[in-house]
Amino acid sequence: MNGVHDMGGMHGMGPVQAEKNEPVFHAPWEARVYAITRAIGAWRKWNIDTGRHYIELIAPADYLRMSYYEKWHVRMVELLLKTGLITRSELETGKPEPGSAKLTPALRPEQVAALALNRNIASSHDPKIPPRFKVGQRVRARNINPLGHTRLPRYARGKTGKVDRDHGVYNFPDTAAHDLGPKRQHVYSVRFAARELWGEQASPHDSVYIDMWDDYLERA
Amino acid sequence: MDTSRRGFLAAIGSVAQGSADMIEQQPDHEHQLVPSDLTLRVKALESLLVEKGLVDPAALDALVDTYEHKVGPRNGAKVVARAWADSAFKRRLLSDAGPAIAELGFLGTQGEHMVVVENTPKVHHMVVCTLCSCYPWPVLGLPPVWYKSSAYRSRAVIDPRGVLKEFGLDLPSDVEVRVWDSTAELRYLVLPERPAGTESLNEEALAALVTRNSMIGVAQVKYPRTEGDA
pLDDT in tens, A24-72: 999 999 999 999 999 999 999 999 999 999 999 999 999 999 999 999 9
Q: Is the pLDDT of residue B30 over 80?
A: no
At residue B85's C-alpha, the angle toward residues B167 and A121, to 5°, is 85
> Per the domain annotation, does B27 fall within a domain?
no
Given pLDDT bands bounded at 50, 70 and 90, which one contains residue B35? low
Does residue B214 have an active-site annotation? no
CB spacing of B132 vs A55 below 8 angstroms:
yes
Q: Cis omega (within 30 of 0) on the bond before A105? A: no
The reported pLDDT for the residue numbered B168 is: 96
> Per the domain annotation, does B196 fall within a domain?
yes
Asked whether the whole model's pTM tops 0.90, one would answer: yes
Length of chain A: 220
The reported pLDDT for the residue numbered B6 is: 42
Same domain flag for B121 and B198: yes
The reported pLDDT for the residue numbered B226 is: 83
* Mutate which: B103, B131, B150, vs A, most A CBs within 10 A: B131
> Per the domain annotation, does B87 fall within a domain?
yes
> Per the domain annotation, does B59 fall within a domain?
yes
Q: Is the pLDDT of residue B14 over 50?
A: no
The reported pLDDT for the residue numbered B170 is: 97
Q: Is the pLDDT of residue B229 over 90?
A: no
Report the Cα B4 to chain-centroid distance in Å. 31
Same domain flag for B53 and B78: no
> Per the domain annotation, does B225 fall within a domain?
no
Say yes or no: A109 contacts chain B, CB-CB below 8 A: yes
Domain count within chain B: 2
Same domain flag for B116 and B38: no
The reported pLDDT for the residue numbered B8 is: 53
Beta-carbon contacts of B70 under 8 Å, excluding residues fewer than 6 positions away, are A113, A116, A117
Domains in chain A with CATH codes = 28-116 (1.10.472.20), 138-219 (2.30.30.50)
Report the Cα B140 to chain-centroid distance in Å. 6
Show residues of chain B in contact with A68, CB under 8 Å. 133, 145, 148
CB spacing of B105 vs A14 below 8 angstroms:
no
Same domain flag for B64 and B135: no
CB spacing of B45 vs A77 below 8 angstroms:
yes
Share of chain A above pLDDT 70, in %: 100
- B188-207 per-position pLDDT tens digit: 999 999 999 999 999 999 99
Same domain flag for B192 and B117: yes
In three-state form (DSSP H/G/I as H, E/B as E, the rest C), the secondary structure along chain A is CCCCCCCCCCCCCCCCCCCCCCCCCCCHHHHHHHHHHHHHHCCCCCCHHHHHHHHHCCCHHHHHHCCHHHHHHHHHHHHHHHCCCCCHHHHHHCCCCCCCCCCCCCCCHHHHHHHHCECCCCCCCCCCCCCCCCCCCEEEECCCCCCCCCCCCHHHCCCEEEEEEEEEEECCHHHHCCCCCCCCEEEEEEEEEHHHHHCCCCCCCCEEEEEEEHHHEEEC
Taking CB atoms and an 8 Å cut-off, how many pairs form between chains A and B? 341
CB spacing of A34 vs B64 below 8 angstroms:
yes
Is the ipTM above a cut-off of 0.95?
yes
Beta-carbon contacts of A182 under 8 Å, excluding residues fewer than 6 positions away, are A171, A172, A175, A176
Same domain flag for B87 and B173: yes
Does residue B154 have an active-site annotation? no
Show residues of chain B in contact with A59, CB under 8 Å. 5, 8-9, 16
Q: Is the pLDDT of residue B10 over 90?
A: no
Q: Is the pLDDT of residue B11 over 70?
A: no
Average pLDDT rounded to a whole number, residues B76-81: 98
Among B59, B64, B132, select the one facing A107 at the smallest CB separation: B59
Given pLDDT bands bounded at 50, 70 and 90, which one contains residue B227? confident
Domain harbouring B190, CATH code? 3.90.330.10
Same domain flag for B51 and B107: no
Contact present, B142 and A24 (Cβ < 8 Å):
yes
Show residues of chain B in contact with A43, CB under 8 Å. 54
Same domain flag for B87 and B49: no
- B97-142 per-position pLDDT tens digit: 999 999 999 999 999 999 999 999 999 999 999 999 999 999 999 9
Same domain flag for B98 and B61: no
Q: Which of B47, B132, B150, B154 is catalytic?
A: B132
- A105-134 per-position pLDDT tens digit: 999 999 999 999 999 999 999 999 999 999
Least confident of A51-60, A111-120, B6-15, B29-38: B6-15
Q: Is the pLDDT of residue A76 over 60?
A: yes
Average pLDDT rounded to a whole number, residues B30-41: 69
Say yes or no: A40 contacts chain B, CB-CB below 8 A: yes
> Per the domain annotation, does B25 fall within a domain?
no
> Per the domain annotation, does B97 fall within a domain?
yes
Residues 86-105 of A with CB under 8 A from B: 86, 88, 90-91, 94-96, 100, 102-105
Same domain flag for B62 and B128: no
Residue at a domain's end among B43, B70, B97? B70
Q: Which residue of B lies nearest to A44 if distances are taken between CA atoms? A: B54
Residue at a domain's end among B23, B43, B70? B70
Residue at a domain's end among B42, B70, B98? B70
Distance CA A77, CA A85 (A): 10
Beta-carbon contacts of B21 under 8 Å, excluding residues fewer than 6 positions away, are none
CB spacing of A86 vs B48 below 8 angstroms:
yes
Distance CA A77, CA A84 (A): 11
Domain ranges, residue B170? 72-216
- A188-215 per-position pLDDT tens digit: 999 999 999 999 999 999 999 999 999 9
Say yes or no: B123 contacts chain A, CB-CB below 8 A: no
Average pLDDT rounded to a whole number, residues B78-99: 98
Same domain flag for B45 and B149: no
Given pLDDT bands bounded at 50, 70 and 90, which one contains residue B36? low
Show residues of chain A in contact with B128, CB under 8 Å. 8
> Per the domain annotation, does B23 fall within a domain?
no
Same domain flag for B134 and B195: yes
